[in-house]
Homo-oligomer: A and B are copies of this chain.
Amino acid sequence: MRPQIVLFGDSITEQSFRSEGWGASLTDTYSRKADIVVRGYGGYNTRWALFLLHHVFPLDSSKPPVATTIFFGANDAALSGRSSERQHVPIEEYKENLRKIVHHLKECNPTMLIVLIAPPPVDEEGRDAYARSLYGDNAREVPERTNEVTGIYAKACIEVARELGLRSVDLWSKMQETEGWQKQYLSDGLHLTPKGNGVVYQEVIRVFNGAWLSAEEMPLDFPHHSKIDPKNPEKAFQQKCL
């Protein structure tokens, strides 16, 4: 009944309904107007995401999503030869995988609003402290992700968006504009704090509003309660419900 907006991504999407999460905030903003559908897969990179494409976005759907955010890269950017090597995807393959995801979505619905979100920056000190809190002296000695390399993936993500004529959110750059982003926006050097979630929410809403998906301009699914005449409620529901 309501249009669907899908959030497709890794753990930063999967966890977007935790405290002050950006997915929950979007759900509240589009209340009674659109359904936010979360399809976040913790630990996934774009290579593994490709296996899900036809299942999450079936080509024969009679009602494909009207909009999708694609938010991968934090795992693809894990360094080769380090402790998270298994998640690493080379940069050219990352770009190609993003193109494949976009092409599939366009095939699902040629008018779909597709927004590419670049990964957030990495706070290497925060990652290190987090590893130590888990493993003590057994923690890996060298970082499994660096901010510099994640920045290369973020840039690549924005390039693919430009190349395909899509809107995008350069989260990596945006967050680093704020002093103290390391602790303010990131809880373990990689995942988002409530404030970090707020940044994603604001940026996604800004893009949606700039496209044709402004919640304010969308109609409610059913009458606002103040429009219902208690003596003749049928009338308010006539157009949509009788």
Residues of A within 8 A of B (CB): 1, 14-15, 17-21, 23-25, 27-28, 31-32, 35, 37-38, 40-44, 47-48, 51-52, 54-56, 85-87, 222, 224-226, 228, 230, 233-234, 237, 240-242
Contacts and interface: CB of A to CB of B under 8 A. Distances in A.
Number of copies: 2
A191 to B, nearest CB: 13
Given A51-B233, A54-B241, 9 more contacts: A1-B55, A17-B25, A18-B28, A21-B28, A32-B40, A44-B225, A48-B237, A51-B222, A86-B228
A17 B85 CA distance: 36
A10 to B, nearest CB: 9
Contact of A226 (B43, B51, B230): B43
B55 A31 contact: no
Contacts of A28: 15, 17-18, 21
Contacts of A47: 233
Contact of A43 (B24, B27, B87, B225): B225
Contacts of A56: 1
Contacts of A37: 35
A13 to B, nearest CB: 10
Nearest to A49: B222
